[in-house]
Amino acid sequence: MSRAAHEEPDVLRLKRLGIDTYQELVIFMARSCPVCRSEGWAAQSRVQVTCNGRSIIATLNVTIDGLLAPDEASLSEAAWQLLGAQDGDLVRLSHAAPVGSLAHVRAKVYGERLTALALTEIVRDIVDGRYSDIDLAAFVTAFAGSRADPEETTALTRAMLDTGDRLYWGHSPIVDKHCIGGLPGNRTSMIIVPILAACGLTIPKTSSRAISSPAGKADAMETIAPVDLDLAAMRRVVEREHACIVWGGRVRLAPADDVIISVERPLDFDSPAQLVASILSKKAAAGSTHVVIDVPIGPTAKVRSDAAARVLDALFGTVAAELGLSLRVVHTDGMQPVGRGIGPALEARDVLAVLRRSEDAPADLRERALALAGDVLEIGGAATAGCGMARAMETLDSGAALRKFEAMCTAQGGMREPAVSALQHVVTATRAGRIEGIDNRRLARLAKLAGAPRAPTAGLELHTRLHGLVDRGEPLMTIHAETPGELDYARAYLAANPQVVELEARHDRTPNGASA
């Protein structure tokens, strides 16, 4: 559109305000904007925005006069990116057409089964940005619990797979390992990937950033090496080193997943169907042929019982078979965090300690990574049954895994040491006792209040383990923060929630607690 087009009544000029709404597409207009008035729009209206030959549907937010002029509009950062817009560009606005696939979501809310075609229409509209956050919340809620059967789950997985790019590597096996999450720390993949690559297997690892947790794999890896690689750069790294660990949001593999998760995680819904569809669509899109799934089980983990794990196992098996994936599901201990660090840099330091075979490396992280690497080596044909862990241990202890990890980092743009937080506060035991419980969810909340993952060096460092004995005044954990305010938030939360670490007294019956 030319400058003359700015005189048209449905055209506004863009002004960049730098507002991050994560995945949500938002357009901002002044309360006095004549387009708003003439079209009858108000806050939360859905507006079609066209710029440079591209169109999106965005949710209207109205600004108080002064932030934007009447003839100006702004966009959320996600909307700028999708439109390819620049500051000063002109946008044409119109009423958004009704989203037809929302009828399928309403049908699901009332208990109807959805066809593969209906699910494809829903997912396509999600990828095209036609669903508001409210619409997405309705979709997530409609599938919450066990409201989707195996056929619907398979159809949802295929729809998510078919609406994005797919990688083909020209050979097999292409392996991967994935943990379903819910356990702080547990940064095993960053150890497993170089072990597998050093053993000759190909593993193109795409990882997520944290949305509601203290760190995602991409957040932790980014404290060591660049992860924001496009598809071409990712392919170059894998072709050179047989492996990578990159941010999945930059490569368009099953893109509906990132949008759905942005609403699903804050709602804290554990939907087996969406969990399975999310994981397996991403694995298939990355070209994986053989996958190991780690399912931690514990009272404060994502999967809280053996019965729930068996339901998940069956669903994984059904969908994987339909997609032609060779799959192994492994149940692991979900009673407490894995490793000492919770937060991007702290978890990365644990990973490097294991890879470097340091004397103070977390033993539980090492053993868990070796066991899971062994499973992948076996399913991928690089080790015979029962011998995978031994080969993984040999690869780690020889230094081959470390060399491969360093080569991967170099290929991704260079390796660096994780930084250290500016502020640290040691939390000590108020009495002698035994650690009888560790609440994974509250620990994750504590690390987030300290600033993780937005502040890469923030989080927690644990100094004790479940069933460990401590004396009065002995350190239980260290809170890491980058600002005094965040450190204060974390300390206040711990004071109000001493059951984060349950301490059973050995010599008295005083109430459980830890000093903050």
Name 206's bridge partners: 246
Cβ-count burial 291-320 (b if 16+ within 10 Å, e if not): bbbbbbbbebbbbeeeebbeebeebbbbbb
Shortest CA distance to 132 belongs to which of 278, 270, 33, 259?
259
Which SS3 state, helix, strand or coil, does residue 321 take? helix
Q: What does the block give as tokens for 108? A: 């699901």
Residue 311's alpha-carbon distances to 79, 110, 277, 302, 384, in angstroms, are 39, 23, 14, 13, 29
- Report CA torsion sign: 227, 228, 234, 237: negative
- Residues 27/74, Cβ–Cβ less than 8 Å: yes
Rounded to an integer, what distance in angstroms lies between the CA atom of residue 120 and that of residue 111?
18
Q: What is the 3-state secondary structure (H, E, C) of 450-485?
A: CCCCCCCCCEEEECCCCCCEECCCCEEEEEEECCHH
- Residues 282/245, Cβ–Cβ less than 8 Å: no
DSSP secondary structure letter of residue 183? S
- Residues 133/58, Cβ–Cβ less than 8 Å: no
Which SS3 state, helix, strand or coil, does residue 246 take? strand
DSSP secondary structure letter of residue 214? S
- Residues 244/412, Cβ–Cβ less than 8 Å: yes
Q: Is residue 420 packed enough to be buried (19+ CB in 10 Å), middle (13-18) or exposed (0-12)?
A: exposed
Cα(first)–Cα(last) distance of the chain, in Å? 59
Give the contacts of 259 (CB within 8 A, at least 6 positions apart).
Answer: 23, 126, 127, 131, 136
Active site residues: 270
Shortest CA distance to 291 belongs to which of 324, 315, 258, 245?
324
- Residues 203/193, Cβ–Cβ less than 8 Å: yes
- Residues 494/500, Cβ–Cβ less than 8 Å: yes
Q: Is the peptide bond before 475 cis (omega within 30 degrees of 0)?
A: no
